[in-house]
Amino acid sequence: MTEKVLEVDAVTLQFGGLTALDDVSFDINEGEILALIGPNGAGKTTCFNVTTGVYRPTKGTVRFQGKSLTGMKRHQITRLGIARTFQNIRLFRAMTALENVMVGGDTRHGTGVLSALFGLPQHRREEQEGYDRAMELLRFMGLEKRADELASNLSYGDQRRLEIARAMATGPQLLCLDEPAAGFNPAEKQALMELIRKVRDRGYTVLLIEHDMRLVMGVADRIVVLEFGRKIAEGLPEQIRNDPAVIAAYLGTDEDAS
């Protein structure tokens, strides 16, 4: 029996008259890579924003490890164990790569002004811990040589990888990656998917948004397909590949063609 990390339960989200998500339900099991796919504008990122607390669902609930996220602040949700990256990169540009990752790690730290001021043991220990952990994550992402570069000076691909490292530093159970391979060439995309598999092997559960179908097939354990804010299919990659509704959503139906 696998443990459910996240349960999205009949979530509806409306912006005024526009229904962005319509009665969407799915679960994420521990240790799996769940891909959320769908054509542009299907509501993938919106769905993502609901799970990370940026938006509050109009109806329905999101539960993380059995605990409802309703009414929780965004930083509390992160502390609970959900971390994310952004589709359009949002690093702390004037900070170094190392500092970016350390900010993520500070989620688990509790020192304040006084312990920093007087260099208390707790502060020193946490600084050292945070530094070691950040360097370890940078090494894992292949960024250790760039540790002291400003985030804004990194190459596009390095920035994407740095975002993943920063999210991992918060110590999440669930890592949400919003189109981490956007703007990559096919070879880079392939390399990134390898990396995501390695991330999962370290014990993280991954929710992945990607609209490149072929890419997702190779990496995801299960796939949820959205179209116009509704879930149209859910299942193993092979099932999704042959699902007529999915094919119609991606390639258009005969009526569309005529």
Residues in contact with other proteins by CB under 8 A are: 52-54, 73-75, 78-79, 83-84, 86, 90-96, 99, 102-104, 106-107, 109, 111-113, 116-117, 119, 123, 126-127, 130, 147-150, 166-167, 170
**C-alpha pair distances (Å), 230 with each of 21, 23, 103, 182, 248:** 6, 7, 36, 23, 14
Structure tokens at 139: 């090494």
Query: Of the two residues 18 and 113, which places its CB atom closer to other proteins in the complex?
Result: 113
CB of 128 to other proteins, least distance (A): 12
CB of 137 to other proteins, least distance (A): 13
Strands 205-209 and 174-178: parallel
Query: Of the two residues 15 and 238, which places its CB atom closer to other proteins in the complex?
Result: 15
Query: Of the two residues 10 and 54, which places its CB atom closer to other proteins in the complex?
Result: 54
Buried b (16+ CB within 10 A) or exposed e, 181-209: bbebeeeebeebbebbeebbeeebbbbbb
* 257 CA to centre of own chain: 35
**Number of neighbouring beta carbons within 10 Å of residue 254:** 7
What value does the CA radius of gyration of the chain take, rounded to a whole number of Å?
19
- Tracing tokens 């999704």 back to the chain, one arrives at 240
CB of 140 to other proteins, least distance (A): 18
Query: Of the two residues 94 and 251, which places its CB atom closer to other proteins in the complex?
Result: 94
Query: Of the two residues 208 and 220, which places its CB atom closer to other proteins in the complex?
Result: 208
CB of 145 to other proteins, least distance (A): 8
CB of 122 to other proteins, least distance (A): 11
| Mutual angle of helices 97-105 and 156-169, in 10-degree steps | 20
